[in-house]
Amino acid sequence: MRDPDAVLDADAESIADGRARLIEAELSRAGLGLVLRMGDRGSGLLLDRLVRLLAIRHPRAFVAMREMPDARVLIEPTDARVALLLRVGPELSLRLRPCQARKDGAAATDGMADAVISGPYARLLDLLEGRIDGDALFFRRELSIAGDTALIVALRNTLDGEEMDLLADALSFAGPLASLLPVLRRNAGPLLDRLADARRLLPPPLKWGIARIEARLPGFGPGREA
């Protein structure tokens, strides 16, 4: 009855989707790096505004996070210089912290947080938006967690119960920039192709120059070397 040759094809749409996602992940990672450079006060004000906005858009999740006991979760990308420190409970807040370098590659709480989730930035973004199955990532060891497991499970379940589009939400207070997002998403594939082609045609010194500039941009490049 089972036909071994009838393997399902991945549809073209999901591939285009994946490429748009790539750009989004890069952009938001760089964006976070810039916010970190604003200093504690500036970035704090901006993040407070973001939390207020998200709470209006996703009341169910934010009420649930405020009802949780006071605790801190560090969301730490292994390939960026910025980590997010989320405080749940009545004093819900979000702050940025520079990533800590770790010898063993495993998450550790260091007393700064009650729990730590760490993994590649793009995966963490997918996870926060509920686009990807966190358990499967954890089973495959692409994500690591440390500290209070119940806190991580509660947070995961709360965020997974929402349909979030963090980048669209974050950009929505950037005024006209927000309207660029759908255009970017539609055109991500051709855009990436053209960029890759253009880069291939560049003379080597220019290619190296671009790579050096990228390396200096906050948010780009692995955080471990920082």
Partner 1 sequence: MDRFELICPAGTPAALRAAVEAGADAVYLGFRDETNARNFPGLNFTRQDLAESIAFAHARRVQVFVAINTYPEAGNLAPWHRAVDDAARLKADAVILADLGLLDYAARTHPELRLHLSVQASAANAEAIRLYRDAFGVRRIVLPRVLTVPEIAKLNAEVDVETEVFVFGGLCPMAEGRCSLSSYATGLSPNKQGVCSPASHVRYEPRGKALASTLGGFTINVFGEGENAGYPTLCKGRFVARDTAAYLFEEPTSLNAMDLLPELKSAGVRALKIEGRQRGKAYIGAVVRAYREALDAFAAGRPVPRIDLQAMVEGGTQTTGAYTRAWR
* Structural contact between residues 77 and 123, judged by C-beta atoms closer than 8 angstroms: no
**DSSP conformation class of 175:** T
- Minimum CB distance to partner 1 smaller for 126 or for 221: 126
Strand order in the sheet with 115-119: 93-98, 82-88, 71-77, 115-119, 144-147
DSSP track, 113-162 = -SEEEEE-HHHHHHHHTT-S-HHHHHHTTSSEEEE-HHHHHHHHHHHHTS
Cα 71 from Cα 94, distance rounded (Å) = 12
For residue 94, the minimal CB distance to partner 1 (Å) is 18
Return the closest-CA partner of residue 86 out of 100, 72, 101: 72
Q: Taking the complex as a whole, how short is the minimal distance between the CB of residue 140 and partner 1, in angstroms?
A: 6
- Residues in touch with partner 1 (CB under 8 A): 1-4, 6-8, 60, 64, 68, 104, 106, 108, 130-136, 138-141, 144-147, 149-158, 160-163
Q: How far is the CB of 226 from partner 1 (least distance, A)?
A: 21
Closest approach, Cβ 27 to partner 1, in A, equals 22
Residue owning tokens 């939400």: 169
Compare residues 124 and 146 and give the one whose CB is closer to partner 1: 146
Q: Which is nearer to partner 1, 138 or 220 (CB)?
A: 138
Closest contact distance (angstroms) between CB of 73 and partner 1 is 12
The candidate with the shortest Cα–Cα distance to 84, out of 101, 69, 72, is 72
Q: How far is the CB of 148 from partner 1 (least distance, A)?
A: 8
Residue among 109 and 172 whose Cβ is closer to partner 1: 109
For residue 41, the Cα-to-chain-centroid distance in whole angstroms is: 22
- Tokens representing 63? 């009420």
